[in-house]
């Protein structure tokens, strides 16, 4: 409800309209305006050279950024264990290092569902685009709201995030679709 009041829309994981695609992300209330961030792609952030091979085997949730950084958005299996371990390692005093709830059915950050956005296909055109974002130094008390953990310990800011941005107004009942091979770049 807070998301609807603040942003004017809500999105949720639901069964995809694409046959045999499993789950997708659907606008359930309000309208996502063109240019709005409508989802975050959560996960473990790997810098170039970090060992991603084992976690990537059979893993369709590894997002490759233009600069060689990768975000592993798989919440279960080895990927989920690695995320939990890295987030636990970076815990500081009473402050969690990351929001771990994105791996559950009810994420605390309701936008942390970007890993479930399906690829465009004939009949299901793209309506969102990926945007790589480098977040400046985030104070530890606020990191509990970000669904990201570095694979490598003690990485200095900025924190890499990947968000999905609406290409046009997206209305209630519409599913979000992205082109898996398109990333928005600053010019």
pLDDT for position 186: 54
Contact 46, 74 (CB under 8 A): no
Contacts of 150 (CB under 8 A, 6+ apart): 44, 45, 47, 86, 90, 159
Task: Locate 30 and state its tokens.
Answer: 């309000």
Give the single-character DSSP code of 168. Answer: S
The CA distances from residue 4 to 36, 41, 44, 122, 172, in Å, are: 13, 20, 28, 31, 12
Closest residue by Cα to residue 28 from 38, 43, 18? 38
Q: How does pLDDT run across 53-81, given as a tens digit for each residue?
A: 888 888 888 999 999 999 999 999 999 99
The CA distances from residue 25 to 11, 142, 156, in Å, are: 6, 26, 32
pTM comes to: 0.90
Task: Locate 164 and state its tokens.
Answer: 């999905």
Q: How does pLDDT run across 26-46, given as a tens digit for each residue?
A: 999 999 999 999 999 999 999
At 187, the pLDDT band (50, 70, 90 cuts) reads: very low
Q: How does pLDDT run across 83-127, given as a tens digit for each residue?
A: 999 999 998 899 999 999 999 999 999 999 999 999 999 999 999
H, E, C per residue of 108-144:
CCCCCCHHHCEECECCECCCEEEEEEEECCCCHHHHC
Q: How far apart (Å, rounded) are the C-alpha atoms in residues 182 and 160?
A: 17
Q: How far apart (Å, rounded) are the C-alpha atoms in residues 112 and 27?
A: 14
What are the residue boundaries of the structural domains of the chain, listed by start? 2-184
Count Cβ atoms within 10 A of the Cβ of residue 143 and give its class: 0-12 exposed, 13-18 middle, 19 or more buried.
buried
Superfamily of domain 2-184: SET domain (2.170.270.10)
């Amino acid at each position: 409800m807070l998301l609807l009041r603040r942003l004017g829309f809500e999105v949720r994981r639901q069964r995809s309209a694409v046959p045999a695609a499993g789950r997708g992300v659907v606008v359930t209330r309000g309208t996502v305006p063109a240019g709005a961030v409508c989802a975050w792609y959560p996960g473990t952030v790997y810098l170039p050279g970090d060992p991603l091979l084992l976690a990537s085997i059979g893993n369709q949730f590894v997002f490759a950024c233009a600069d060689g950084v990768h975000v592993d958005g798989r919440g279960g299996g080895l990927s989920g264990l690695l995320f939990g371990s890295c987030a636990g390692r970076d815990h500081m005093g009473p402050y969690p290092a990351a929001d771990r709830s994105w791996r559950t059915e009810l994420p605390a950050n309701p936008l942390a569902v970007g890993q479930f956005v399906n690829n465009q296909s004939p009949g299901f055109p793209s309506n969102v685009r990926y945007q790589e974002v480098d977040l400046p130094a985030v104070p530890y008390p606020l990191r509990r709201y970000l669904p990201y953990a570095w694979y490598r310990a003690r990485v200095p800011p900025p924190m890499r995030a990947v968000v999905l941005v609406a290409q046009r107004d997206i209305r209630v009942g519409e599913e979000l679709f992205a082109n898996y091979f398109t990333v928005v770049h600053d010019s």
